[in-house]
Structure 1
Amino acid sequence: AVKSEEEVVEALKTFKPIIAFTGRYLAMRRELPAPYFDVLREQAKLAELVEKVIRGEKGIESSPL
């Protein structure tokens, strides 16, 4: 969950892949490589995306562990 634009920038540098952004900070002013979900109103949409990623339907590459 991001709380500021600085946290968005830091997350983009640190985590790969990012499948979604969540949090109270509305990050829509910036072009993001992943969708943003308002966790208070869009829990079902976020859950659907996570399920698709887990099932491999989204085409997101995972890094080897």
Structure 2
Amino acid sequence: MEQLNQKSILLTSYLEFLLENNKFNQQKDNLINFIQITPKDQKQRGCQLSLKFNCQVDKIHKKLSERGIV
């Protein structure tokens, strides 16, 4: 079980890294931006990352669906 927990933390940290370096990160000047609202501390957030977008999430869901992600 410990190996599974470590793997989930590693994958979540990798996703966090990808999101921080994404062109739609809040620090960029784009029409669609997001911020991470879950804590940075892995012990506080576990394997969850929650994002807050500055646009209607229906648009985001549509784009993710078109790419087969959702």
TM range, normalised to the smaller chain?
Answer: under 0.3
Q: Which has the larger radius of gyration?
A: 2
Instruction: Select the structure that is richer in helix.
Output: 2
1 or 2 for the larger relative contact order (CA 8 Å, sep ≥6)? Answer: 1
Under a length normalisation based on structure 2, what TM-score does the superposition of the two structures give?
0.24
Under a length normalisation based on structure 1, what TM-score does the superposition of the two structures give?
0.25
